[in-house]
Amino acid sequence: MSLKALIFDVDGTLAETEELHREAFNEVFATAGHGWHWDKDLYRRLLTVTGGKERIRHFLDTAGIDAGPDAEAAIAALHAAKNSLYASKVAAGVTLRPGILRLMREAMAAGLQLAIATTTSRSNLDALLGSAFGADEAMEFAAIVTGEDVGRKKPDPEAYRLALERLRRRADECVAFEDSRNGVRAAQGAGLPVVVTPGIYTDHENFDEAECVVSDLGEPGRPLRHLAGWRPAGGVIDLAALREMSAGV
């Protein structure tokens, strides 16, 4: 079956945004008067829990912190404040990871669909897309699935199944792009082959099940580093490489 669509995760996959998220969490905690600080090692562990509110709740539970009788409302308020702060940080400028824009442009020119399957919030996604692509880059996404659209977040495959439904595509017509093991499990649970570009907070994870693991998607004159799985020729992930990979899956 020919390749029809590319489905992208967001944080860590489109851009290295996780450090901005961590900074925003810590600033909001400080402003609220909480003595909580998520250092990089702790945040790396917390990222195994998908979803910002879920991450806060997990942190409180494992640290034995009582958030009071209105814990859920307090968590929601912290998360909303963090998202607002994150949006302002992203608006100051964010750079897409190598090869992302090149591949998206190539896909659109060839008539392929682009889609997003993320468990981040829609406000976070809009902030990132607005900053990364800008008004002059007419990037068209045929389907967008965010954390508000699903009842179960990654590693559950619901986000990818919904993206396939909205695209009206079968899994064997698409390729997913992820940066985390949770994301790989979600995509493969929906039957999708996965290209993994580990991020700064996920480069220690096990991606043995992924079809292809590379440092990034590569650029002409700046080749990717092959890490595991199927090896693309030419030093970049382009449509020709993805079609070759898909044919062998």
Q: CA-based angle 52:147:209, to the nearest 5?
A: 90
Contact 119, 146 (CB under 8 A): yes
Please indicate whether residue 41 is annotated as part of the active site.
no
Helix 122-133 with 71-91: angle, nearest 10 deg: 0
Catalytic option among 11, 156, 179, 238 = 11
Active site residue 11: yes
Structure tokens belonging to residue 228: 């595991």
Distance of alpha carbon 105 from alpha carbon 11, whole angstroms: 20
226-229 and 212-214: which strand pairing? antiparallel
Separation between Cα atoms, residue 76 and residue 71, nearest integer Å: 9
* Alpha carbons 38 and 23: distance in angstroms, whole number: 9
For residue 157, cis peptide bond before it (omega within 30 degrees of 0): no
- In the set 9, 156, 179, 238, the catalytic residue is 9
- Other beta carbons within 10 angstroms of residue 141's beta carbon come to 16
Phi then psi for residue 194, to 5 deg, are: -130, 135
d(CA 46, CA 138) in angstroms, rounded, equals 35
- Token readout for 198 is 């580990």
Residues with a known catalytic role: 9, 11
